[in-house]
Amino acid sequence: MLEIRDLTVEVAGKKILKDLTLNIERGEVHVLFGPNGCGKTTLLMTILGFPSYKIIHGRIIFKGVDITDLPTNERVKMGIGVAFQNPPRIRGVTLGDMVNIAQGRSEAIIDESVIALADKLNIPPEFLRRDVNLGFSGGEVKKSEMLQLMAQSPDFIMFDEPDSGVDVDNIELIGRIMCELLDRAKLPSRRERAGLIITHSGFIMRYIKADRAHVMLDGRIACSGMPDEITRNIMEEGFEKCVEKCSVQ
Amino acid sequence: MKGEEGTNRLRSLADISEDYMQDLLHAGIEPTERGRSGSFLLQDQSVIYSRTRYEGLELMSISDALKQHEWLNDYMWKVIPADMDQYTKDVMSCDTNGYFIRSKANAKVIVPVQACLFIASDKTEQKVHNIIIAEEDSELHIITGCSVARSITSALHLGVSEFYIKRGAKITFTMIHNWSGGVKVRPRSAVMIEDDGTLINNYILMTPVKSLQMYPTAYCTGKNAKASFQSIIYASDNARVDIGSRAVLIGERSRADITSRVVATDNGDVIARSEVIGEGSNSTGHIECHGLMLSDNAAITSIPELKATRKDIDLSHEAAIGRIAEDEILYLMARGLTEEEATSVIIRGFLNVDITGLPDALAQETKRMLNMSLEKLM
């Protein structure tokens, strides 16, 4: 579904991603570990096509189409979705408005279908009338991102630190919604959607099973393998040790 | 006062010339009069329509009202001194007309009254004097639209409006200005609010104007008198706008809230003033003015002023002028909007002021009017 070939990316004149290659097939969920500042978020923002992430060389292929030069909204229309780690607050634009926008609807009404979606995340209808992210708690921000993704229903979804700043009660709920968004309840061969989860702590992996895990260090995929094994190594020995171990084997 | 009514009168508001229909609609005027308790239309200097459908409501031209009510002379030039400036002097000395709107004691006129001041002929100098009275414990909701025919290249509008809100009464006044680039506008408004009286004043300006200057003042003379001003201004083209709201808190525990949202684009130049003067014991007031700049050739000057004259007064203000944040645009693009669509959603959001205190239907109507103005814009 998503193919990234030899991608080198600069941000403000500084090389952040270096010849990065990654393939994610239909129905697969990949998890990307890595210390802060290694380039995980840069990879997501580059896949989204945000303008300050400058591609020096390499291509991004989505559903067989080269999207390297497409603007963000066209990539989104093709089926790419994202849950941001720290989305901006927008005064006067409500969560309900964002849900309508994500659904591609122009009307500014909150109807039964939107209320039903929100209910799945224990979001009360009156919360939909609040300005998006304005005064939201950490958990509310994540739930708002999940709600917008449910409304958008993308084929490929990126989650940037879905477990950061979320309390224990909400993390299980967020994990459950991620599983639903990524067809995890279906038989592997019936899964249509794919995902890429970025996590620093790995905490969210208790609630969603990935098919493959990668460790990113200094703008490169340093190690790839089975999620359980990689998670265990990172938890026990840290990122550097895990990479060392993988390269020895 | 001019007394030549009855000439060229319309039988129904819907009879207005097709050419002018759009100009009225854009000023929030409903030609079918559905959902209105009364309608008034002044074209250039003549009252061409005036009709009320509600018993507790009086609506007529000020010249007719002066003939009917001798006492009305006591309300003329009472909150606005005739010699305040050259424009009030001008209105005082000329033949003028305007509207008289009055809700009788205890009458709750929940359904809004609509009044339109319309300039149809080029080079018109429209001079009006309006009196609005809400008698004790009454409620009055007014939608006024000021508009010009599209063919106008140059005109002047001078409007003196005096409001009286008696004990326990409430007025909501929602005004839409739909001018064009050749019109010079000088409204002069003041409001007297007695004990437990409430004013909610909403002002919307979305179209270009040559030059507009106004600084309506609410005198909260009574105990618990409340005034709230909300202004939404989009200054485009070569608009020169100097606009403010002022509240003088004289009564004990009186309160004022002044909110403005200003967008300046093209060569628009806006001075957004606001002033709260606290004199009564335990009076409180808050000013919130936010500006959004969309052009390097535009300007916004924000001037909030607070004055307290006792130790038990609380006044505050917040003012900010900024730009559209890129991360907000990208966030909306990541949900599928183009850059242009995202920008328009953010500007709409910025201008979306929550107006409280209106009856449900009127609140929706106000929202609809704002949306209509915004749609015309983008």
pLDDT attached to residue B376: 65
- N-terminal to C-terminal alpha carbon distance within chain A: 29
Lowest mean pLDDT among A62-76, B176-190, B278-292: B176-190
Mean residue pLDDT across chain A:
91
Please give the average per-residue pLDDT across A215-231, as a whole number: 88
Please give the average per-residue pLDDT across B335-358, as a whole number: 86
Q: Is the minimum CB–CB distance between A124 and chain B shorter than 8 Å? A: no
Give me the sign of the Cα torsion angle B67, B71, B74, B79.
negative
Q: Is the minimum CB–CB distance between B331 and chain A shorter than 8 Å? A: yes
Cβ of B350 and A87 within 8 Å? no
DSSP SS3 for B286? strand
User: Confidence class of residue A248 from pLDDT cuts 50, 70 and 90?
Assistant: low
A169 burial (CB, 10 Å; 0-12 / 13-18 / 19+) is: exposed
- Torsion-angle region of residue A4: left (phi > 0), alpha (psi -120 to 50) or beta? beta
Q: What is the DSSP string of A172-238?
A: HHHHHHHHHHTTTTS-GGG---EEEEEESS-GGGGTS--SEEEEEETTEEEEEE-HHHHHHHHHHHH
pLDDT attached to residue A246: 63
Between B167 and B340, name the one with better pLDDT. Answer: B167
Please give the average per-residue pLDDT across A177-187, as a whole number: 92
Cβ of B352 and A92 within 8 Å? yes
Cβ of A92 and B350 within 8 Å? yes
Please give the average per-residue pLDDT across B105-115, as a whole number: 94
Q: What is the value of pTM for the model shown? A: 0.85
Cβ of B333 and A71 within 8 Å? yes
Are residues B235 and B262 in contact, defined by beta-carbon separation less than 8 angstroms?
yes
Which residues in chain A are closer than 8 Å to B333, comparing Cβ atoms?
Answer: 71-73, 76
Give me the sign of the Cα torsion angle A54, A161, A201, A176.
negative
- pLDDT single digits (tens) B33-64: 888 999 999 999 899 899 998 889 999 999 99
Please give the average per-residue pLDDT across A20-41, as a whole number: 92
Least Cα distance to A197 among A146, A149, A162, A152 occurs for A162
- Residue in A71, A72, A92 nearest the CB of B348: A92
Rounded to a whole number of angstroms, the distance from the CA of B143 to the nearest CA of chain A is: 24
Cβ of B331 and A48 within 8 Å? no
What is the complex's ipTM, to 2 decimals? 0.94
Rounded to a whole number of angstroms, the distance from the CA of B112 to the nearest CA of chain A is: 25
- Torsion-angle region of residue A150: left (phi > 0), alpha (psi -120 to 50) or beta? alpha
pLDDT attached to residue B31: 86
Q: Is the minimum CB–CB distance between B330 and chain A shorter than 8 Å? A: yes
pLDDT attached to residue B32: 87
Q: Is the minimum CB–CB distance between B51 and chain A shorter than 8 Å? A: no
Phi, psi of B320 (to 5 degrees): -150, 140
Judged against a pLDDT cut of 70, whether residue A223 lies above it is answered with yes
Residue tagged 């359904």 (tokens)? B111
Are residues A46 and A22 in contact, defined by beta-carbon separation less than 8 angstroms?
no
Judged against a pLDDT cut of 50, whether residue B238 lies above it is answered with yes
| Cα angle: A6, vertex B332, A182; to 5 degrees | 60
Cβ of B335 and A102 within 8 Å? yes
pLDDT attached to residue B352: 81
Are residues A93 and A55 in contact, defined by beta-carbon separation less than 8 angstroms?
no
Give the integer Cα–Cα distance in Å for B50 and A116. Answer: 49
- Torsion-angle region of residue B189: left (phi > 0), alpha (psi -120 to 50) or beta? beta
pLDDT attached to residue B328: 96
Give the integer Cα–Cα distance in Å for A181 and A60. Answer: 23
Cβ contacts of residue B205 below 8 Å, gap of 6+? B176, B177, B179, B212, B231, B232, B233, B234, B235, B241, B243
Judged against a pLDDT cut of 80, whether residue B204 lies above it is answered with yes
User: Confidence class of residue B357 from pLDDT cuts 50, 70 and 90?
Assistant: low
Question: How many CA atoms lie within 13 Å of B140's alpha carbon, on the beta-carbon side?
Answer: 36
List, as ranges, residues 269-328 from B with C-beta within 8 Å of A. Answer: 325, 327-328
pLDDT attached to residue B207: 85
- Residue in A48, A72, A91 nearest the CB of B349: A91
Between B53 and B272, name the one with better pLDDT. Answer: B272
Between A243 and B119, name the one with better pLDDT. Answer: B119
Which residues in chain A are closer than 8 Å to B337, comparing Cβ atoms?
Answer: 73, 101
User: Confidence class of residue A249 from pLDDT cuts 50, 70 and 90?
Assistant: very low
Q: Where are the domains of chain B?
A: 13-326, 327-378
- Residue in B336, B346, B351 nearest the CB of A90: B346
Number of residues in chain A: 249
User: Confidence class of residue B6 from pLDDT cuts 50, 70 and 90?
Assistant: very low
pLDDT attached to residue B356: 65
Are residues B148 and B179 in contact, defined by beta-carbon separation less than 8 angstroms?
yes
Helical axes A95-102 vs A112-120, angle rounded to 10°: 100
Q: Is the minimum CB–CB distance between A60 and chain B shorter than 8 Å? A: no
Q: Is the minimum CB–CB distance between B336 and chain A shorter than 8 Å? A: yes
Which residues in chain B are closer than 8 Å to A73, comparing Cβ atoms?
Answer: 333, 336-339
Rounded to a whole number of angstroms, the distance from the CA of B352 to the nearest CA of chain A is: 6
- Residue in B325, B351, B352 nearest the CB of A88: B325
Mean residue pLDDT across chain B:
91
Give the integer Cα–Cα distance in Å for B214 and B216. Answer: 6
Q: Which domains does chain A have, with CATH numbers?
A: 2-248 (3.40.50.300)
List, as ranges, residues 346-365 from B with C-beta within 8 Å of A. Answer: 346, 348-352
Cβ of B334 and A72 within 8 Å? yes
Cβ contacts of residue B257 below 8 Å, gap of 6+? B227, B228, B229, B285, B286, B287, B288
A225-234, B169-178, B354-363 — most confident range:
B169-178
- pLDDT single digits (tens) A81-128: 999 999 999 998 999 999 999 998 876 678 888 899 999 999 999 999
User: Confidence class of residue B362 from pLDDT cuts 50, 70 and 90?
Assistant: confident
Judged against a pLDDT cut of 60, whether residue B5 lies above it is answered with no
- N-terminal to C-terminal alpha carbon distance within chain B: 42
User: Confidence class of residue B377 from pLDDT cuts 50, 70 and 90?
Assistant: low
Beta bridge partners of A81: A157
